[in-house]
Amino acid sequence: MSPHGPRGNGRRIDIGPPFDGLYLLARQVANRSLSEQEALRRAREGARVAITPGALDDCFLGALQLLPRNPEIAYHWWQLILALVESRYGPGRRSAWWPAADRFVEITRLTLLDRPWGGRLRAALRTADLQTELLERALAEQSRPDRAMPARRSVATAAEREELTESRVAAAWLLAGPYCGKLDPEDIAGSFVRWSDPYSLNVKKVLAVSFADSAKAADADYGRWSLDPDQAMPEPGSALTDALARLDAALREAPPSLRGFCHLKRAQILPFLARLDPGREEEYWTAARDAVEHIGLTTNRPTSVGEYYETVAPVVRRYGASAPTRLKSLLTMSLPQLRRRVPGPELLRTLADVSVFVEDRRDLREIWEAVHALLAEHEVLPVAPWVWRDLAHRFPGNRLRCPSRPAGFDQLRSMAEALCRRAPSGERAATLAHAVLHAPDEDLGEAVEVLDGIAEVDRGFRRTHAWLLDSVAAGLRQRYAAWLRDQGRHREALLAGTLAAPDLVRLAMRHRSPGLVTGLVNDALESAEHTAHERSDHDALLLLMSVEPVVAGLVGAEDERSSFVRELGQEVVRLVLLAESASLSAAHQVLFKAYAFRLLMQAPGPRPATQRVRELNLRIAERESDEGPYVPDRLGPTGDSGTEPDGLSGLFFLTSMESAPDAGAEANCGHLRRVADVLLSADMIHGPHAPKYQEMYRPDLLEIGELSREGLGAETVFISLFLADRVQNHAGAYSSRTALVTAAVSGQDLALGAELLNVAGGLIRTHDPEENISHAWTWPAFDVAELREEINADPGGKPVTRHGATLLEQQFRLSGASADLLRQWRAEGRTHLCFWPHGPLHYLPFHLLHADGRPLADDWTVTTVATSAQCLPRPSGTASRGRRLLIAGSAAGGTRYGLREQPEIAAHVQKLTAQVRGARALRSGATTPTALMAAMTGVDFVHIAAHGSQDAEAPWYQCLYLDADDSGEGRLFAHQVLGLDLRGVDLVTLSACESALGRYDLNDNLRGLPAAFMLAGASTVIGVLWPVTAPVATLFYEDLYRCLLAEATKRDAFRHAQQTTRAAFPAYRDWGAFTLIGDWR
C-alpha cells in the first residue's frame, strides 16, 4: 500500500493534503495504533486548505478500491473526511459537507457487508437523516405562502425535491442494502446469525469478567465478551420494515424520473418481508411484482444492469418469465467486456440472476464459460453461497423444469430419468443434479448420494462443475444434518455433519464467510450432547472429525477466531471425556493446542515482516530516537500489584485487546510495539505467511496414540496436558473447578487421566476502562506464577525455601503424573519425561516438581515440546548432525538499556571456542544483530551469550542485547529471527536471562524468542526460565557442548549439564533455570 494513498486495479490514486494525512490516520486507527477519538480530534483540527469536489471524488474512488482488501481503512478514512469537512463548513446543503455526507453513507453501507456493526450503521443513518431534515426544512421555507415563486426558484425547488428523494432512498438502502446483500432468502434467520455474529457458539461459557470501574459491569454482556454493545445490528424484520417505510415516503413525493429508482429498491426488500411475515406473504409478493413492472432500465452502466436483474430475478423465479430472452438482449455489452469492467463477485451474482431469463443452450453455455473463468481467476470470491444454488438450477443440458409444487425425491428422480431416456450422459447428469436441489429435507440423504455418484453418469460433467457440485452437496448435507437433529436422530446427524465439514470449510474460506461453518459446529455439539450419555467412542470420534476441518480452516478476525476455537475446545473436551477414550482425548489435544503453530512449523523458514509491520517499526525507531531506547516493564502489561505473584502478567493469554489504543494524543512506544506484535502474529496465521489449506499440513488426530510405534523411544514417556474449564462427572453434574486432562504415552500404552485442581475453572477477563486494555487468564496461571516466584526467592543456603518445597509438592499434580505411575514407568526402564504443556504450564519448571519429597530431575530427564509434531520421527534421509558451532557473545550489549556489563561472557566465549574444534566465534565487540543473523546460516549449533529478558508486553519484541551497530542498535528481536532461514540448525542455546519465556494465545500458539527460532527452522532451543548468574550459565553450557561433541544426544547432554551444574550450584533457582524445548534426539 502506498503511503501516499490507496492503490487499486494497478493504478495508484494520488491524494493530496489534507486527505493523505487523514488516510494515514485511518490506517493507524484500523491497526489500533491510534484511538478513533484522537484521530477524529486531529481531523477536526486539520489544515485549512480548500476542499474541492474533485478531491472528494478521488477520495471516494480510492475508498472503493480499498474496500475489497481493507474495508476498515476505507470506513475510518471517510469518517475522518466527514469530520474534517463538518468542522470546516458545518452541515449544509451548499457546502462540501453535502457530497462528503453522501459518500460517507455509501462507504458505510458497503463496509457493513463484510463487517456488520450496528453503531456504524446508526451513525451513518444519523448523517442521512440530517440531510433529509435539512432538505425538508429548506423546502418548507420555500413553500411559505408569503414567498413568491419565480421560475428560477421553482427550478431550485424541483432540484431540492429530487435531492430529497435521493437522500431518503440512500437512507433506506443504508438500512436495507446490507441485509439484502447478505441474507439467504430461504434461511433469513440462520443467515442473519451467520453474518452478524459469525463466531456465535451455543455453549454455556465459564466466564468471569471484572472491571476496574464497577459501573461498567452493569453494561457487560457476560455471554459473549464484548466491550462494545453498540455493535449489534438491528433484527432483519425491523430494519427492512423501516427501510420500506422510508422508500414509500420517498415514492410519494418522487419526481417521475426517480420513481423507477424507488421501485427498484422496494422490489429488492419486499421478497424478504414476504418470507419474514407469512401472514402477509402474498401481499408482499404482489407488491414486489407491481414494483418490478414499474422499473425501467434507463442506464447502460454494468453495475445498474446487475442490480436490475438481482431485483427482478426473485419475482421471475416465483411467477415465471413472460418469455425466454436471448443473452445479448439482456446485457448492455458482451460477457468478455463485462469481465474486464465488473468485479468478479458482482459479475458472478449477475450471471446467476440473468440465467433465469435464458433458455437458449448457446447462451447458457456462454454463461457457464464465464462462470468457470471467474472460478479459475479468483482464489477468493466473496459472494453469497446461495449464488451457487441459483446457478445449479441452470446447469447446461438440464431438462427438468423447477416443479411448481413439492415432490419426493423418488418422484423427481423418475421424472428426470424419463426426460433423459435418450439424452446424452451430460444432459442426464445435469438433470439429475437439478432434481437433487428440489429434494425435500427427509430425502436429502438419498439425494446427496445421487450427487456424489454423478461422475458415474458423466465424468466430464463432474469434472467441469466440481466446485459447484461440492458446494451444493456441502450445503445439502448441512441441511440434512439439521433435519436429522430436529428428528432426534443425532448419531446420523453427526455423521452427516462430518461428511459436510471439509467442503463447507472450503466454501467458507473462498467466500470469507466463517458463519457458514460455525452453524455446522453448533449443530454437531447439540447432537453430541444428546448422544454423550451413551459414552460412545464412535460418536466422540465423529464430533472430532466434524470440527477438525473447522479448526484447520476457519477464517476471520484473529481475536474472534481464537475465542471461538478456545470455547469450542473446552466444550469438546467435556464431551470427549465422557467417552473415557484415551486416544480420543489425545486427539482432542492435537486439535486444540497450538494448531496454527504446528502448521507454521511444518513450513519453516523466513517470514519477513509485512509492509504494515515495517512501517510501525519505523515509527517505533523514530520514537526511540527522540525519547531514548524503550525498555518494557519486566512485570508485564498490568504492572503486577503486591497482591499478585511476580510475573503473573506474562502468563496471560495474548490477545489484541492488550493493544487497545487509549485516547491520548500520541501512542507510546510500548503501545506501538504491542500493535506490531499483534500484526506479526496475524500475518503469519491469516496473512501472507499463512500455510495453505492442504492435506499435507493437517495432522493425524490419532498421532499421539501412535507415537509408540513411530520412534518415541523406549526411554521416553510423552505426557500431553490440557487445562479444562468444565468437566462433568458420571452423574452429569458440572464441576466448578479446573480439570487437568492428561494423555500419557509409554511404550505401547496410552493412558488417560483427568484430575480436578484446587482452583476455579473458567476464563477470567479483566478490563481497565481508564487504560482501555483488557486481559484474559485462568487461575492456574496464578499457581504457576507463585511457584516461580518462590523458587527465585533467597533460599537461605538451602536448595529452595521451605514454602517453595511445599508448593513444589502441592503442585506436582500439574505434571499430570502420579507417584505410582512414575514408579511403574521407572520399573519399565523409562528415564525421560517429555511434557507437552498447555497455557501457563509452558513456563512451569516440571523438573523441579516434587514427587515423594524429591525433584523429578533426581530420577528423570525432563524436556518439553511446543507441539506434538516435534515428537514425530524425523523424515527419512535427514542428514546426521554435524559439529559446526557458531558462538556469539556480548558482554556490554545491555549497558545502554540499564543492564550491567558482564565481562564473564568474553571469557566464556573464548573458553568454549577453544574447547570445540572448528567452532567459529564472532569477534568481541562486533557481535551485532546484523552480523549474527548473517552468520547463523549453514551451521548445526548456535550459542548466544548475552543479556536477555522476557517482553511480556510484546513477545515478538523479546530480545537479546548484543553489540551495537553503526546506528546504535544492538538488540536482536524475536521478530527479526522470524525473517531468517534456520532450516538445518539442530540446536540453539541461549545463555540469557528469561530466554525460554514468551507468551501464548488463546489457542496455545507460542510467541517469543524460542518460538521464533523454531518457526525459522531450528529443531531445538535450550534457554533459561528466569534470571540466572553468569557463572551458572557458563558452567551449564560448557558442559552441554562438551557432551554434544562427544556424540551424546541432546537429551543426554542436557541432563549431564544439568546435574553437573547442580553439583556446583545446588539452589533450584540456579541449576533448575534451564529447559529444553523441542526435539531431544
Strands (E), 154-293: 207-211
**Pairing between β-strand 7-8 and β-strand 11-12 as defined by DSSP bridges:** antiparallel
SS3 annotation, 164-193 = HHHHHHHHHHHHHHHHHHHCECCEHHHHHH
Assess whether the previous peptide bond of 18 is cis (omega < 30° from 0). yes
Specify the 3-state DSSP secondary structure of 254.
coil
Specify the 3-state DSSP secondary structure of 863.
strand
The conformation of residue 222, written as its DSSP 8-state character, comes to S
- DSSP letter for each residue of 674-725: HHHHHHHHHHHHTSTTPPPS-GGGSPPTTTTTTGGGTT--TTEEEEEEEEES
Cell 423418488 maps to which residue?
410
Distance CA 757, CA 570 (A): 16
Q: Which of 856, 822, 816, 811 is nearest to 836 (CA)?
A: 816
Distance CA 777, CA 756 (A): 18
Looking at the DSSP assignment, which residues form a beta bridge with residue 887?
921, 943
Total residues found in the chain within this entry: 1081
pLDDT at 204: 64
Number of Cβ within a 10 Å radius of residue 401: 11
Handedness of CA 192, 197, 198, 203 (dihedral sign): negative
Cell 509408540 maps to which residue?
708
Residue type, 1013: F
Distance CA 581, CA 588 (A): 11
pLDDT at 556: 56
Looking at the DSSP assignment, which residues form a beta bridge with residue 855?
850
Angle, in degrees to the nearest 10, between helices 515-531 and 490-511: 160
Specify the 3-state DSSP secondary structure of 457.
helix
Handedness of CA 1038, 1039, 1040, 1042 (dihedral sign): positive
Measured CA distances, 639 to 242, 649, 790, 1007 (Å): 49, 7, 19, 20
Burial classification of residue 796, based on how many CB atoms lie within 10 Å of its CB (0-12 exposed, 13-18 middle, 19 or more buried): exposed
- Global pTM value: 0.91
Q: Which of 713, 1072, 1077, 1044 is nearest to 858 (CA)?
A: 1072
Residue type, 110: L
The gap from C-alpha 497 to its chain's centroid, in whole angstroms, comes to 23
Backbone angles phi, psi at 861, to 5 degrees: -85, 125
Strands (E), 264-419: none
Q: Which of 929, 916, 923, 926 is nearest to 987 (CA)?
A: 916
Measured CA distances, 260 to 77, 131, 189, 267, 292 (Å): 33, 22, 30, 10, 9
pLDDT at 296: 64
Number of Cβ within a 10 Å radius of residue 220: 17
Distance CA 381, CA 374 (A): 9
Cell 465424468 maps to which residue?
459
Number of Cβ within a 10 Å radius of residue 737: 18
Q: Which of 1069, 974, 962, 972 is nearest to 1026 (CA)?
A: 1069
**CB–CB of 219/229 below 8 Å?**
yes
Can you read off the three cell numbers belonging to residue 515? 458463519
Distance CA 776, CA 1002 (A): 8
Distance CA 411, CA 415 (A): 6
**CB–CB of 684/985 below 8 Å?**
no
Average pLDDT, 10 consecutive residues per value, the chain (1081 residues): 43 79 93 89 84 92 91 96 95 94 97 93 97 94 68 74 96 97 92 90 62 43 46 94 97 91 95 96 96 67 71 90 80 86 89 91 92 90 86 93 90 95 95 96 95 95 94 92 94 94 88 86 93 88 92 74 92 93 94 92 90 93 91 60 72 85 71 92 78 62 78 90 86 84 92 92 81 84 96 96 97 95 95 98 98 96 96 65 87 90 92 88 92 94 93 94 92 97 96 96 96 97 95 95 92 98 98 97 91
The gap from C-alpha 260 to its chain's centroid, in whole angstroms, comes to 43
